[in-house]
A and B are shown apart, each in its own frame.
Chain A
Amino acid sequence: MSFLYPLALAIGALAGIPIVIHLLRRHTDRRVPFPALRYLQRAERKHARSLRVRDLLLLLVRVGLLLLIAATAAGPLVGRGGASDHEPVDVAIVLDNSASNARPVGNQTTFDLLRDRVRSTLAAAGPADRFWLYPTVGPPLALATTAAEAGRALEQARLTDGSADLVDAVTAAARSLPAERRREVHLLSDLQASNFASLPDAGQADEIALLVFTGLSLDASNGMVGMAQLASGLNIPVGTQSDVVASALWFPGPSGRAAPADSTVLRLEIDGTTRGAAAVGWGDEAVFRIPSLDPATHGGRFEIEPSGLRADDARYFSFRVVNPPAAAWTGPPGSFTGIALATLQAGGRVADGEGGVRIYEAGEGQPAEPTGSGYLTVVLVPPADPLSLPRFNQLLTRIGIPWTLFPDDTRGELALRDPSGVPGLDEIRIESRYLMTPGGGVEDSVLLATGDGEPWLIRGRANGHTYLLLASPLVESAGSLAGSAAMIPFIETVILRWGLDAGWPASDFEAGLSMTLPTGSDSVVTPGQGTVRVDGGAPFTPLRAGLYGLHYEEEGQPRSLTFAANVPATESDLTPLATRDLAELFSGREVVTAGPEASAWESVIYRNRRGRDVRPWLVVAIILLALAEIALASPAPLKESAKPTREI
């Protein structure tokens, strides 16, 4: 037991007063003449015992009354109080609003349940408590505010289609709390295991307790649409058709629950019009043909039948239908590369001309460097003859490419790792290649690598141009690519996807992640048809999955485009983290888990409780004792006896 105001206990010394009065009463100086003393004596003799009992009771009541008043003034706190009986505390609440919390629980979602727990936390707050409210996706909603303000901010919290990094969120929340008073971090989440991908910061060890709401027993099985992949990248030449690939995936969850059917219907919409549908087995891919469309950005959507998490039952993508890019080739006569380019030009997928992509295939009799009226991108193919390699390296140095190629003594065939959706490329075997060594400070991206991890196709920027550098010559002696059916799609991909500046957007986005809008951006139309004013170059976070419209200005002309945001794939695996793993994950911090009942949660929050404030009960006791004192001390009411006398 403790006291709010211990000094007030001194009032208890007053309890001695009735005792002293009781003792001093025997020595009272008050003398009252009373002729009818005989009756008084008679009454006292007859009731002496009950009078003594009454006096003793009165003494006890008065002493008890004063002790109770002293105790009440001191504010006793008994036992472990309720959630509202605690010392002032700073609380950082991490509220998981990632996509996985959209799972239905009765008529609510898990997010609704988690928000209810936050409400109960705020309801038990004291006036001196301060709150920080961090949704896992999106900006903080409250910083060092009162419970009332945090409650209002809580009502602004919305479910998103983004993904959470709970370790990072907890660590950041703990760090945000000033070290001036007691602190707690509350984590309210479905505890999706994939959201604990980050490793905890080594500096997390502190006295801040992590209270985790647990026990949401939900079915973790889930079906999703796999990543939509455009065969020709985001840019499709006008007048041509292209393929898009999507898959249906099933996560059985820890219980191993099978899908309700062996397959699901995968449906494709483009610009709101259904363009195809197919029954797809779980884990299988389906290829859909995108029809010829007008030059513009277009939005597509794959959808499967509802399962588990609804948000990932659809996947969005955007692409541009563009005029065929100009491409030119310089290389040895009869080169497969030249043949492939001519085929693409004949098919209208690539235009013959300068100013676009220049493919330079090194070899005997070729100019020392790429020629022509100019290009945006140069594709550099090394010579088949290793003796010409020094000259090729000199070329690289001249045009500012920080890579050097060396002969490779490795014998045997090598496959390409992750061939990025280029049809047929996964069947290709590399027999001859050069080892590419970067210079200092190179940040180029490796587009393709061989199975042993060595870069095979590199993209970078040099002297205002984009360059693509291959590690193998495109000849039959260097591998199976040159003479295969994959050669033409490969060259098309090199030109259309990798060779051209992809423009904005270069890819689809993940919901919940911040992006930078292009210069000149004016407004964004969200999937819910709301319009958000934006500034070009400013960060923007798409919180929901879907197709967004961007209005912007280019060269003084208003333009618009479509971009897509999807639920991060990590959200689709709903497997929860085991509670024991929580403690291990945050081993430097006290981890307290409670749930799923609200009472369990309320019993653990606000760790530093003061005990239950019993003052209301003491006040009741004081009132009762005061009434008892009045009853004992007051003259007994006189009962009119039957008059035996003739009284006048």
Chain B
Amino acid sequence: MANLELVARGVVEGFLIGLHSSPYRGFSVEFAENRPYNPGDDIRFVDWKMWGRSDRYYVKQFEEETNLRAYIVLDVSHSMQWVSDPQRLVSKIEYARMLAASLGLLLLRQGDAVGVITFNDQVRDHLRPRSARQHWRRLLRVVGGADASGTTEAAAAIRDVAMRLQRRGLVILISDLLVAPELTRTALSYLGHRGHEVLVFHLMDPGERDLPSTGDAVYFDPETGDELLTNSAALRRRYREAVDQATRAWVLDAARIGAEYHLLSTDAPIGFALRSYLDKRAHLG
């Protein structure tokens, strides 16, 4: 976990320059300004003093203590453990841990609240969003202790997030998306309907993108146990086409529900992923 912290800190330091405070404004203890009352505003926040002085209705606005509530939804299923070249690459779960830790730190540095949900076929760990700086330590413990195991059921985890996020916020899904695609898309769509911003990081090992030539072998899915006897050399080009087709489908679905999709290769620097997040964050204003 110490390594994870060091790596995450190193990654994040370079991305904090010039960031503005949270654009979200709500009702909190610190007064910000008054504005004219509009029908539908909560009458509890009518500034009666101003009414007394000016005979006009004003509503008090406060600087919100926590501007953005974000959930990092981390896939810790067995498939995340796989790595094609252990000498050169990290596994998807390791990469996901570093990415989650970095994002968490980045969010907290901006004053946002961040929480974590890890899942495989069910929600494994849940850490409520907090904006306190020391919250990152808790986040590291959750993320760092997440071992990859079990099958994947992303839809349930996403629905769980939707239930927990009362206000609109940001959901960051980090997964290899070796999931039931329809259910997952439906769940992500539900998040979108609820007004949440959705950011999907699709992790892919280079060996999953371009099939290694290992010749004749029985290939099996460690999660489901499904098997296939084939020759990877013969299928290499067609496999690549299938992968491209799948990722293309994810892109189209993400666009349809207003989510943002990024395909992340585990040999790419994590900083690139943070840049994607920052772009998204800037877009949010």
Interface residues of A (CB under 8 A from B): 25-26, 28, 30-44, 46-47, 51, 54-55, 633-639, 641, 644-648
Report B-chain residues with C-beta under 8 Å of the C-beta of A634: 233
B33 interface contact, C-beta 8 A: no
- Render B58-84 as a binary contact track against A, CB cut-off 8 A, 1 for contact: 000000000000000000001100100
Interface residues of B (CB under 8 A from A): 78-79, 82, 176, 178, 202, 208, 210-211, 213-224, 226, 228-248, 250-251, 261-265, 268, 272-273, 276
B219 with A636: CB separation less than 8 A:
no
Nearest CB of B to A561, in Å: 96
Report A-chain residues with C-beta under 8 Å of the C-beta of B242: 39-40, 42-43, 46
* Extra contacts besides A35-B221, A55-B231, A635-B233 (11): CB < 8 Å: A30-B218, A31-B220, A34-B219, A35-B223, A40-B219, A51-B231, A644-B244, A645-B248, A645-B262, A647-B264, A648-B273
Given the interface contacts A35-B221, A44-B230, A641-B241, does A648 sit within 8 Å of B235 by beta carbon?
no
Total inter-chain residue pairs, C-beta < 8 Å: 140
B229 with A26: CB separation less than 8 A:
yes
A38 with B218: CB separation less than 8 A:
no
Cα distance A42–B208 in the bound complex, in angstroms = 14
Report B-chain residues with C-beta under 8 Å of the C-beta of A34: 82, 219-221
Partner of A37, one of B220, B241, B268, B276: B220
Nearest CB to that of A32 among chain B residues? B217
Cα distance A44–B229 in the bound complex, in angstroms = 10
A33 with B216: CB separation less than 8 A:
no
Report A-chain residues with C-beta under 8 Å of the C-beta of B211: 40
Nearest CB of A to B225, in Å: 10
Report B-chain residues with C-beta under 8 Å of the C-beta of A44: 228, 230, 235, 238
Report A-chain residues with C-beta under 8 Å of the C-beta of B218: 28, 30-32
Cα distance A54–B219 in the bound complex, in angstroms = 20
Cα distance A30–B219 in the bound complex, in angstroms = 8
Cα distance A31–B230 in the bound complex, in angstroms = 11
Partner of B228, one of A26, A37, A637, A641: A37
Nearest CB of A to B111, in Å: 26
Report B-chain residues with C-beta under 8 Å of the C-beta of A635: 213, 232-234, 236-237
Among A36, A633, A636, the most chain B Cβ lie within 10 Å of the Cβ of A36
Cα distance A410–B283 in the bound complex, in angstroms = 156
Report B-chain residues with C-beta under 8 Å of the C-beta of A641: 240-241, 244
Partner of B208, one of A35, A47, A54, A646: A35
Report A-chain residues with C-beta under 8 Å of the C-beta of B263: 645-648
Cβ-closest 8 pairs across A and B: A35-B79, A43-B238, A636-B237, A644-B248, A37-B221, A647-B263, A30-B217, A39-B242
B262 with A41: CB separation less than 8 A:
no
A43 with B214: CB separation less than 8 A:
no
Nearest CB to that of A46 among chain B residues? B238
A40 with B247: CB separation less than 8 A:
no
A39 with B82: CB separation less than 8 A:
no
Cα distance A55–B262 in the bound complex, in angstroms = 37
Nearest CB of A to B279, in Å: 10
Nearest CB to that of A21 among chain B residues? B216
Given the interface contacts A44-B228, A644-B247, A644-B248, does A638 sit within 8 Å of B222 by beta carbon?
no
Report B-chain residues with C-beta under 8 Å of the C-beta of A637: 237
Nearest CB of B to A31, in Å: 5
Nearest CB of B to A21, in Å: 9
Cα distance A204–B98 in the bound complex, in angstroms = 103
Cα distance A43–B243 in the bound complex, in angstroms = 9
A648 with B241: CB separation less than 8 A:
no
Cα distance A31–B178 in the bound complex, in angstroms = 20
B230 with A644: CB separation less than 8 A:
no
A638 with B248: CB separation less than 8 A:
no
29 chain-A/chain-B pairs, Cβ below 8 angstroms: A28-B217, A33-B219, A33-B220, A34-B219, A35-B78, A35-B222, A35-B223, A40-B211, A40-B242, A41-B226, A43-B239, A46-B238, A51-B231, A51-B235, A635-B234, A636-B234, A636-B237, A638-B210, A638-B240, A644-B251, A645-B247, A645-B251, A645-B262, A646-B263, A647-B247, A647-B263, A648-B262, A648-B265, A648-B268
Nearest CB to that of A54 among chain B residues? B234
Report A-chain residues with C-beta under 8 Å of the C-beta of B243: 36, 39
Report B-chain residues with C-beta under 8 Å of the C-beta of A636: 234, 236-237
Nearest CB of B to A35, in Å: 4
Nearest CB of B to A34, in Å: 4
A33 with B213: CB separation less than 8 A:
no
Report B-chain residues with C-beta under 8 Å of the C-beta of A47: 235, 238
Among B79, B213, B221, B273, the most chain A Cβ lie within 10 Å of the Cβ of B221
Nearest CB of B to A72, in Å: 28
Report B-chain residues with C-beta under 8 Å of the C-beta of A54: 234
Nearest CB of B to A338, in Å: 125
Nearest CB to that of A28 among chain B residues? B216
Nearest CB of A to B280, in Å: 11
Nearest CB to that of A25 among chain B residues? B216
Cα distance A32–B214 in the bound complex, in angstroms = 9
Nearest CB of A to B178, in Å: 5
Cα distance A556–B96 in the bound complex, in angstroms = 126
Report A-chain residues with C-beta under 8 Å of the C-beta of B224: 37
Cα distance A505–B214 in the bound complex, in angstroms = 99
Nearest CB to that of B201 among chain A residues? A648
Report A-chain residues with C-beta under 8 Å of the C-beta of B228: 37, 40-41, 44
Cα distance A33–B219 in the bound complex, in angstroms = 6
Given the interface contacts A30-B218, A644-B248, A648-B273, does A36 sit within 8 Å of B208 by beta carbon?
yes
Report A-chain residues with C-beta under 8 Å of the C-beta of B208: 35-36, 39
Partner of B237, one of A639, A645, A647: A639
Partner of B272, one of A46, A644, A648: A648
Report A-chain residues with C-beta under 8 Å of the C-beta of B273: 648
Nearest CB of B to A151, in Å: 56
Report B-chain residues with C-beta under 8 Å of the C-beta of A648: 262-265, 268, 272-273, 276
Nearest CB to that of B245 among chain A residues? A42
Cα distance A633–B276 in the bound complex, in angstroms = 40
Report A-chain residues with C-beta under 8 Å of the C-beta of B265: 647-648
Nearest CB of A to B256, in Å: 14
Nearest CB of A to B179, in Å: 10
Report A-chain residues with C-beta under 8 Å of the C-beta of B247: 644-645, 647
Report B-chain residues with C-beta under 8 Å of the C-beta of A36: 79, 176, 178, 208, 243
Partner of B234, one of A28, A55, A647: A55
Cα distance A638–B212 in the bound complex, in angstroms = 12
Among A26, A42, A44, the most chain B Cβ lie within 10 Å of the Cβ of A44
Cα distance A471–B67 in the bound complex, in angstroms = 165
Report A-chain residues with C-beta under 8 Å of the C-beta of B79: 35-36
